[in-house]
Structure 1
Amino acid sequence: MLADHGGEPARPYFVAIGMADVPEEEGYAPDPRALVPFSEADMLPVTSERLSPGEVRFRPLELPSRMTPFFLVGDDALSLRWLEARGETLREFNAVGLIVEVATPEGLERLREAAPGLELRPTPGDDLAGRLGLAHYPVLVTAQGLEQ
């Protein structure tokens, strides 16, 4: 349902989707000064309320076999040791790392130095923790199960 409640006219936005025969010169053009690129540091700190460093016992999972393996880590001593010990396995799996707890760019860099050749992305992990029944990291998640 469409309704007009006043405010800014929608007509200029139709240029982008080729609707309403709106000429290009009447279309919406964002102010280039407003398009400031952001960096990974702008995403920090990343915190996960439902997750903390700790022991994870193997638990089988039944996920699609085509799923890309991934792992959860944080900027803590346990995660750094785990990355160094399991790095080769993680690379063999071509696993993607989700950094669920990191406060600073320096912490992010420490994790990357401990995991050469692995893709690491800062992202909160609470949703995953709930879906997978996790309370702790570091953990590797594959189609077959959770393992530390």
Structure 2
Amino acid sequence: MFFMSRTVWPLAAGSLVVAMGWSQITLAAPDNQMSLQVVADIGGESARPYYVAIGGAGVPEHEGIQVARTAPYSIEDMLPVVTKTLSPGPVERRDLSLPAGFQPLFIVGDDPLSLSWLAARSQHLLEIGATGLAVNAQSAATLQLLLDAVPGLRIDPVAGDDLAVLLGLSHYPALITHAGVEQ
């Protein structure tokens, strides 16, 4: 004779109900032909590099996650820098109302117009403590030409597309101060 204690019976009965419920759901799904609908895909990067750790995934070792860089980045790592929305040309003076503590900055490229502009304005740029952004620079050598034109000033290679849109600029060289944009 089969005997179940009271403590085992509710657990067994519960399991039976769950099992029956799942079988009903499984059997009902093909009849209804329910399909999944993607509500959002917040993907981004492929998971393929992570598959290297799974030996049977067939992903070659060189496609796996790379070891973090330990050496510091250099200026050469940032070059060439290209800003598609800005080119050398005339800049009309416009008033701005930026906060009074705004540090002046200038936008240049490694073109002849920017080099002559820097040579003509270097003293003024030094006096106001401006910082430079090289928005179009092909190499470390052409960036060095810009730096040599204004000894003592900092010029960093930076893509300026967002800044161009923000300030409504399409050309450079330009000087941006708290009072306005000018060439």
Task: State if a TM-score over 0.5 links the two structures.
Answer: yes
Q: How many residues align?
A: 118
Which structure has more RCO (C-alpha within 8 Å, separation ≥ 6)? Answer: 1
The answer on 1:107 being equivalent to 2:104 is no
The structure with the greater share of residues assigned to helix is 2
Q: Partners of 2:69 and 2:136 in 1: how far apart?
A: 30
Partner SS for 2:156: strand
Aligned match of 1:121: 156
Rounded Cα–Cα distance in structure 1 between residues aligned with 2:112 and 2:79 = 19
In the alignment, structure 2 segments of 5+ residues that lack a partner are: 1-49, 51-66
CA RMSD of aligned residues (A): 1.4
Question: For residues 34 and 49 of structure 1, what CA distance do their matches in structure 2 show?
Answer: 29
| Matched letter for residue 134 of structure 2 | I
2:111 — aligned with what? 76
Report the AA paired with residue 86 of structure 2. Answer: L
Q: Deviations over 1:72-130 (max 9, x none)?
A: 00000000000000001101110000000001110011011111111111100000000
Correspondence 1:139 to 2:174: yes
The CA deviation string for residues 41-62 of structure 1, in whole angstroms up to 9 with x for no partner, is 0110000010000000110001
Aligned-residue identity in percent: 49
Equivalent in 74, 79, 83 of residue 48 of structure 1: 83
* Distance across 2 between alignment mates of 1:69 and 1:94: 7
Runs (4+) of structure 1 moved beyond 4 Å?
A: none
Alignment of 1:52-71 (within 5 A): 52-71=87-106
One-letter amino acid of the counterpart of residue 53, structure 1: P
Distance in structure 2 (CA, Å) of the matches to 1:60 and 1:114: 27
Cα distance between partner residues in 1 of 2:89 and 2:119: 16
Measure how far apart 1:36 and its partner are: 2.3
What one-letter code is carried by the residue in structure 1 that aligns with 2:109?
G
Structure 1 gap segments, 5+ residues each:
1-6, 8-30
Give the TM-score, by structure 2 length: 0.62
The structural deviation recorded for 1:34 is 4.0
Q: What is residue 11 of structure 1 aligned with on the other side?
A: none
How much has 1:37 moved relative to structure 2?
Answer: 2.2
* TM-score, with length taken from structure 1: 0.77
